[in-house]
Structure 1
Amino acid sequence: MTNATQTPGRPAQHGGGGSAWASGGTMFAGVLMMVYGILGVLNGIAAIAKDDVYTHIGDYVFEFSLTTWGWIHLVLGVLVAVTGWGILKDAAWARGVGVGLAALAVVANFMWLPYQPLWALVSIAIAIFVIWALCTDRGRTSTV
């Protein structure tokens, strides 16, 4: 007895569809987004509360005040955490928004490199994994 389902116009899917890596990766991406969002909020609060938490850099092309960076991280962190929660709840809107926010996080962390190089690189890697996981899991159907 096989557990394959056939939808007209689509190939047969076994056991709910999608690869196990992609399905598990999507769940992990939701958790990573929540953790990344909470850390982004804390990062933003630290930069807003005290302007000397991070190093001041010289002439950098993407130089903003640390307070501005704090607000960027705070707002982005809240949005990413809420979207991560939506991914865990399997909300239809969350996957597309998650890909967009992860792409925005890659750009923001690239611009944040001179302030916190190691954390920015780790954050870029996490965001790229999130984009991969959300784009490759075809097992879920969306109503959009």
Structure 2
Amino acid sequence: MAEQTAPGYGSAGQVQEKSSWAVGFILFAGIMMIVAGGFQAFMGLVALFENEFYVATRNYLFQFDATAWGWIHLPGGLLVVGAGFAVMAGKTWGRVIGIILAVLSLLANFAFIPYYPFWSLTIIAVDIFVIWALVAHGRDVTA
């Protein structure tokens, strides 16, 4: 029969230490969420106030108006910033929301590639790292 232990304790009753690498990955993921979310919100503001800044290629499946992209990126970026602060505070709900928002951000930026390719691919890479860090090491920072 398996032995029940309290959280944070090993099978011999020894306190398990949190990995400093894992904590570092989570804190870095939280910071990246704040920075990327802030830039994404700024990108949304640019799309709202300067319609001709983003130019799409022709015949693309996800062809939206720049104003629509602005309304997609602005609230999405602000939500990612809030989730980043929650992740850094060690909140479990912040981790869950952070994973969901990172997946949504990844999908939105995939659809945004024709409008601003370099930035979209950069944010996709950051989102993949954030998802990995929150899934693999998120429990090491929970409050």
TM-score strictly above 0.5: yes
1:35-114 to structure 2, matched below 5 A, reads: 35-114=35-114
- Count of aligned residue pairs for this structure pair: 134
CA-CA distance at 1:20 after TM superposition: 2.9
- For the residues of structure 1 that align with 2:56 and 2:113, how far apart are their CA atoms? 12
- For the residues of structure 1 that align with 2:97 and 2:55, how far apart are their CA atoms? 32
CA-CA distance at 1:59 after TM superposition: 1.5
Paired residue for 1:116?
116
AA aligned to 1:45 is L
- For the residues of structure 1 that align with 2:96 and 2:50, how far apart are their CA atoms? 35
Paired residue for 1:133?
133
Q: Which has the higher helix share?
A: 2
Paired residue for 2:16?
14
Identity of aligned residues (%): 39
- For the residues of structure 2 that align with 1:140 and 1:90, how far apart are their CA atoms? 5
2:140 match: secondary structure: coil
CA-CA distance at 1:88 after TM superposition: 1.3
5+ long unaligned stretches in structure 1: 1-6
CA-CA distance at 1:57 after TM superposition: 2.3
CA-CA distance at 1:92 after TM superposition: 2.4
1:27-42 to structure 2, matched below 5 A, reads: 27-42=27-42
**RMSD of aligned C-alpha atoms?**
1.7
- For the residues of structure 1 that align with 2:142 and 2:57, how far apart are their CA atoms? 47
Paired residue for 1:3?
none
- For the residues of structure 2 that align with 1:90 and 1:63, how far apart are their CA atoms? 38
AA aligned to 1:64 is F
Q: Could you state the TM-score of these two structures normalised by the residue count of structure 1? A: 0.85
1:121 match: secondary structure: helix
2:84 and 2:94 in contact (8 A); partners too = yes
CA-CA distance at 1:141 after TM superposition: 4.5
5+ long unaligned stretches in structure 2: none
2:91 and 2:142 in contact (8 A); partners too = no
CA-CA distance at 1:139 after TM superposition: 2.0
AA aligned to 1:14 is Q
